[in-house]
Structure 1
Amino acid sequence: MSDTMQPVKKRVHPVDEVLPPGKLAIYGFQHVLAFYAGAVIVPILLARSIGLNNQQLIHLINADLFTCGIASIIQSVGFWKIGVRLPLLQGVTFTAVSPMISIGVAAGGGTDGLLTIYGSVLVAGLVTFAIAPFFGKLVRFFPPVVTGSVITVIGLALLPVAAGDAVTGLDGKQDPTSARNLAYALGTVLLIVIIQRVFRGFIATIAVLIGLVAGTAVAWLLGDASFTDVGSSSWAGVTTPFYFGAPKFAVAAIISMVIVMLITAVETTGDVFATGEIVQKRVGSEDVTRALRADGLATVIGGVFNSFPYTCFAENVGLVRLTRIKSRYVVAAAGVFMIVLGLIPKAGAIVAGIPAPVLGGAGLAMFATVAVVGIQTLTKVDFHDHRNVIIVATSLGLAMFVTAQPDVAKVLPTDLQVLLGSGITIGSISAFVLYLVFFHLGSGLGPAVAGTPGNLIRLEQVNRMDRDEFVTTFGPLFQGPPWIAERAYEHRPFRGTLDLRQAFQEALFSGTEAQQHELINAYPRLGADEPDLEAQSVEDQDTHHLTSLGGSNRDELDALTTAYEERFGIPLIVCVREEGSLDELLAHGRHRLGNSPAQEHYRAMVEIGKIAGYRFDTLVADANPYLSAKTTHLRLQ
Structure 2
Amino acid sequence: MSTEKVHPVDEILPNGQLFAYGLQHVMAMYAGCVAVPLIIANALGLTKDQLIYLINADLFTVGIATVIQSFGFLNMGVKLPVVQGVSFAAVMPMIMVGKMHGIQGIFGSIIVAGLLTYLISPYFSRLIRYFPPVVTGTIITIIGVSLLPVAVRWAGGGVPGAPGFASPGNIAMAFLVLLLTIVYYRFLKGFWSSIAVLLGLVSGTFIAFLLGFTDFAKVATAPWFGITTPFAFGMPTFDLTAILTIFLAMLVIMTETTGDMIAVGEMVGRPVTQQDVVRGLRADGFATMLGGVMNTFPYSAFAQNVGLVGLTGVKSRFVVVTAGLILMVLGLFPKAAAVVAAIPAPVLGGAGIAMFGMVAASGIRVLGKVSFAGNNNAMIVAVSLGVGLIPLAVPTFYHGFPAWAKLFLHSGITTGSIIAVLLNYCFNELGRAAATTEKALSE
What TM-score bracket applies, with the shorter chain setting the length? over 0.9
- Taking the aligned partners of 1:147 and 1:264, their CA distance within structure 2 comes to 17
Q: Partner residue of 2:33?
A: 39
Closer/same/farther in 2, CA of residues 346 and 171 from structure 1, 3 Å limit: farther
Q: Partner residue of 2:297?
A: 308
Q: SS where residue 162 of structure 2 aligns?
A: coil
Q: Partner residue of 1:241?
A: 230
Q: Partner residue of 2:11?
A: 17
The answer on 1:426 being equivalent to 2:410 is: no
The answer on 1:61 being equivalent to 2:61 is: no
Work out whether residues 307 and 356 of structure 2, in 8 Å CA contact, stay in contact via their aligned partners in 1.
yes
- Taking the aligned partners of 1:174 and 1:290, their CA distance within structure 2 comes to 45
Q: SS where residue 409 of structure 1 aligns?
A: coil
Closer/same/farther in 2, CA of residues 169 and 250 from structure 1, 3 Å limit: closer
TM (normalized to structure 1)? 0.67
Q: Partner residue of 2:208?
A: 219
Q: SS where residue 246 of structure 1 aligns?
A: coil
Amino acid at match of 1:395: S
The answer on 1:157 being equivalent to 2:146 is: yes
Work out whether residues 145 and 356 of structure 2, in 8 Å CA contact, stay in contact via their aligned partners in 1.
yes
- Taking the aligned partners of 1:51 and 1:347, their CA distance within structure 2 comes to 26
Work out whether residues 68 and 76 of structure 2, in 8 Å CA contact, stay in contact via their aligned partners in 1.
yes
Alignment of 1:75-224 (within 5 A): 75-107=69-101, 113-168=102-157, 173=162, 175=164, 177-224=166-213
How far did residue 329 of structure 1 move?
0.7
Match of 1:411 among 400, 411, 435: 400
Give unpaired runs (5+ residues) of structure 2. none
How far did residue 409 of structure 1 move?
3.5
Work out whether residues 391 and 397 of structure 2, in 8 Å CA contact, stay in contact via their aligned partners in 1.
yes
Q: SS where residue 389 of structure 2 aligns?
A: helix
The answer on 1:400 being equivalent to 2:394 is: no
Work out whether residues 155 and 166 of structure 2, in 8 Å CA contact, stay in contact via their aligned partners in 1.
no
Q: Deviations over 1:207-258 (max 9, x none)?
A: 0000000001001001111222112211111110011011111111111111
Closer/same/farther in 2, CA of residues 284 and 60 from structure 1, 3 Å limit: same
Match of 1:337 among 326, 332, 353: 326
- Taking the aligned partners of 1:58 and 1:131, their CA distance within structure 2 comes to 34
Q: SS where residue 410 of structure 1 aligns?
A: coil
Size of the aligned set, in residue pairs, is: 443
Q: Percent of aligned pairs with the same residue?
A: 51
Q: SS where residue 85 of structure 2 aligns?
A: strand
Structure showing greater radius of gyration is: 1
How far did residue 420 of structure 1 move?
1.9
How far did residue 172 of structure 1 move?
9.1
Give unpaired runs (5+ residues) of structure 1. 1-6, 108-112, 448-457, 468-637
Amino acid at match of 2:14: P
Q: Deviations over 1:528-587 (max 9, x none)?
A: xxxxxxxxxxxxxxxxxxxxxxxxxxxxxxxxxxxxxxxxxxxxxxxxxxxxxxxxxxxx
Q: Partner residue of 1:543?
A: none
Q: Partner residue of 2:239?
A: 250
Work out whether residues 95 and 425 of structure 1, in 8 Å CA contact, stay in contact via their aligned partners in 2.
no
- Taking the aligned partners of 1:445 and 1:179, their CA distance within structure 2 comes to 54
With a CA cutoff of 8 Å and minimum separation of 6, indicate the structure with the bigger relative contact order.
Answer: 2
Judging by fraction of residues, say which structure has more helix: 2
Alignment of 1:355-366 (within 5 A): 355-366=344-355
Amino acid at match of 2:48: N
Work out whether residues 168 and 174 of structure 1, in 8 Å CA contact, stay in contact via their aligned partners in 2.
no
Closer/same/farther in 2, CA of residues 281 and 49 from structure 1, 3 Å limit: same
- Taking the aligned partners of 1:171 and 1:272, their CA distance within structure 2 comes to 31
How far did residue 152 of structure 1 move?
1.0
Work out whether residues 170 and 355 of structure 1, in 8 Å CA contact, stay in contact via their aligned partners in 2.
no
Amino acid at match of 2:11: E
How far did residue 123 of structure 1 move?
0.8
Match of 1:228 among 186, 211, 217: 217
How far did residue 463 of structure 1 move?
4.6
Work out whether residues 177 and 200 of structure 2, in 8 Å CA contact, stay in contact via their aligned partners in 1.
yes
How far did residue 459 of structure 1 move?
5.1
Q: Deviations over 1:457-498 (max 9, x none)?
A: x8558856979xxxxxxxxxxxxxxxxxxxxxxxxxxxxxxx
Amino acid at match of 1:270: G
Amino acid at match of 2:364: I
Closer/same/farther in 2, CA of residues 446 and 385 from structure 1, 3 Å limit: farther
- Taking the aligned partners of 2:431 and 2:325, their CA distance within structure 1 comes to 53
Closer/same/farther in 2, CA of residues 80 and 167 from structure 1, 3 Å limit: same
Closer/same/farther in 2, CA of residues 438 and 248 from structure 1, 3 Å limit: farther
Give the CA RMSD over aligned residues: 2.1
Amino acid at match of 1:234: P
Q: SS where residue 300 of structure 2 aligns?
A: strand
The answer on 1:384 being equivalent to 2:373 is: yes
Q: Partner residue of 1:493?
A: none
Closer/same/farther in 2, CA of residues 431 and 8 from structure 1, 3 Å limit: same
How far did residue 159 of structure 1 move?
0.1
How far did residue 375 of structure 1 move?
1.2
- Taking the aligned partners of 2:125 and 2:225, their CA distance within structure 1 comes to 40
Work out whether residues 137 and 363 of structure 2, in 8 Å CA contact, stay in contact via their aligned partners in 1.
yes
Work out whether residues 260 and 301 of structure 2, in 8 Å CA contact, stay in contact via their aligned partners in 1.
yes
- Taking the aligned partners of 2:95 and 2:215, their CA distance within structure 1 comes to 30
Q: Partner residue of 2:46?
A: 52
Closer/same/farther in 2, CA of residues 305 and 172 from structure 1, 3 Å limit: farther
Q: SS where residue 408 of structure 1 aligns?
A: coil
Q: Deviations over 1:297-351 (max 9, x none)?
A: 1101101001111111111111111111111111011111100111111111111
How far did residue 446 of structure 1 move?
5.1
Q: Partner residue of 1:536?
A: none
How far did residue 58 of structure 1 move?
0.7
Match of 2:66 among 34, 57, 72: 72
Work out whether residues 153 and 160 of structure 2, in 8 Å CA contact, stay in contact via their aligned partners in 1.
no
- Taking the aligned partners of 1:462 and 1:430, their CA distance within structure 2 comes to 27
Amino acid at match of 1:388: N
- Taking the aligned partners of 1:412 and 1:249, their CA distance within structure 2 comes to 27
**Structure 1, 151-160 or 132-141: larger mean CA deviation:** 132-141
Amino acid at match of 1:91: G
Work out whether residues 242 and 304 of structure 1, in 8 Å CA contact, stay in contact via their aligned partners in 2.
yes
Amino acid at match of 2:221: S
Work out whether residues 263 and 429 of structure 1, in 8 Å CA contact, stay in contact via their aligned partners in 2.
no
Work out whether residues 22 and 326 of structure 2, in 8 Å CA contact, stay in contact via their aligned partners in 1.
yes
Closer/same/farther in 2, CA of residues 133 and 79 from structure 1, 3 Å limit: same
